[in-house]
Chain A
Amino acid sequence: MIEAATLLKPSSAIRYRIIDGEAIVVQQTDARVLNLNVLGSRILTALDGQTSVGDLVARLADDYEVDPEVFAADVRRYLGELEAAHVIEPVTTPAGGGAHGL
């Protein structure tokens, strides 16, 4: 479950490049290639392992005229899809605990 305090970063198994605002993501394990749209690209590039999901949503919400709660839910769902596709991964702490569910 991705929550507001969750820290995420691009998966170590991907390489990506931005062209015309869109991210082209290559999965190293099978050379699968994904296109992320402009919003998806902004999200991916903002995930630096230090910015929480809550902060990310707050930063992006200013640019989109949508209900903040709906926007937050949409972004979290999208992040869940990216995580399921192994494009992003949670930041794990040295103690072994994940940042998930904080």
Chain B
Amino acid sequence: MNFGGFFLKEPGRFPAEPMGVPWGEEVVDLAMSGSCFTFTGLSPRQAAYVRQRYGDFLGAPSDGDTPAVPTQLFRAAAEDFRSFAQRGWTYTLDRDYGPNRVRIAGLDLMALLDWSPHLSAALWSATETTPGFNLVFDNVFRMVSAYALLARGGVLLHSAGVSDGTWAWIGFGHSGAGKSTFSGLALDAGQRVLSDDLNALCREDGLWLAQRVPFAGELGPTHGDDRSYPLAGICRLAKGPAHQLAPLARPEALAALIGSAPYVNQDPYRVLDLMTSLEALVRALDCHDLTFRKDAGFWPLLAAAARPQRLSPAPSLEANHD
């Protein structure tokens, strides 16, 4: 099926440019993992949702030093979208990748990411009511976040991020590997959880940091901790009968991490940059296979395995990001 055909009645009418009728005049600035995301054209109802949902991340407009990622919101007509039964159906955004653009179609939404010359986005929504708009906004914001991080040499990773208040560990793995269980057990042991679903990994002054993002899984969002924690290690998670920590070879770690970097890992124009960033990550940090049972006894193993990062210059990215 051609791009958009599943969601749109007339995919050929997908907007070619970021133009249209705004929902309103509201503006919301969100600050996250080193970027300022500015959303314009929201209706009061939409803005209220974004401010409530992302309250911990409300920020000021970019001061010029912080990369700015503007997103314009426009109205779309509800009749432009197909309606269908959603029971038993896994929602996946339809994406069309290009060298300077990514087109996105989904439930009651169309979106356009554009890199000419800097990363910006346009979102056409057919709804401003909940829960429809929540889904529209959250899905597009996740994707924009992933691209903004990649442009800065970082990555948005499907993972559990936990911290002892000084260092952070990232546990990743396929669905069901135990990210939420790992996070919950760390929480029970008095540790902090950044997110049990998605975490931002980025480099600052050559050091890899983990930072909380407002996207959580079963545990729900954590609040209030806006610090970045230097990474002490990366673990591929698996549940098992006993706690065990074993070295994970870099090639295998890199392959597994690519599979855990949503959205950008399917973008043929930017996946090489993803691989570059993740290669730098696995060269800087020790990678492990962590098998754990349902108690926090794995924590001493992680603490004992923590090593200083191997610092190296930031690799240069190839794609036109910003």
Seen from chain A, the residues whose Cβ lies within 8 Å of a Cβ on chain B are 13, 15, 17, 19-20, 22, 24, 26, 28, 30-35
Contacts and interface: CB of A to CB of B under 8 A. Distances in A.
A15 B275 CA distance: 9
B279 A19 contact: yes
B150 interface: no
B224 interface: no
A24 B266 contact: no
B266 A19 contact: no
B266 A28 contact: yes
B259 A31 contact: yes
Given A17-B276, A30-B266, 17 more contacts: A15-B271, A17-B254, A17-B279, A19-B250, A19-B254, A19-B282, A20-B250, A24-B251, A24-B254, A24-B258, A24-B275, A26-B275, A28-B271, A31-B259, A31-B266, A33-B265, A35-B251
Contact of A15 (B254, B256, B268): B268
B60 interface: no
B255 A34 contact: yes
B265 A17 contact: no
A76 B286 CA distance: 36
Nearest to B259: A33
Given A15-B271, A17-B279, A26-B271, A31 B252 contact: no
B265 A26 contact: yes
B92 to A, nearest CB: 11
Contacts of B282: 19
B276 to A, nearest CB: 8
Nearest to A36: B251
Interface residues of B, number: 18
Instruction: Specify which of B250, B251, B252 lies most central, judged by the most chain A CB atoms within 10 Å of its CB.
Output: B251
Nearest to A28: B268
B251 A31 contact: no
B272 interface: yes
Contacts of A33: 255-256, 258-259, 265
A32 B254 CA distance: 13
B249 interface: yes
Contacts of A34: 255
A35 B259 contact: no
Given A15-B272, A28-B271, A35 B252 contact: yes
Nearest to B270: A15
Nearest to B251: A22
Interface string B281-311: 0100000000000000000000000000000
19 contacts: A13-B268, A17-B272, A17-B279, A19-B250, A19-B254, A19-B279, A20-B250, A20-B251, A24-B251, A24-B254, A24-B275, A26-B258, A28-B268, A30-B266, A31-B265, A31-B266, A33-B256, A34-B255, A35-B255
Nearest to B272: A15
Contacts of A22: 251
Contacts of B259: 31-33
Contacts of B256: 33
Nearest to B263: A31
B249 A17 contact: no
A35 B252 CA distance: 7
A24 B256 CA distance: 10
Contacts of B252: 35
Given A15-B271, A31-B265, A24 B249 contact: no
Contacts of B266: 28, 30-31
A75 to B, nearest CB: 21
A25 to B, nearest CB: 8
A102 B254 CA distance: 38
B148 to A, nearest CB: 20
A78 B254 CA distance: 23
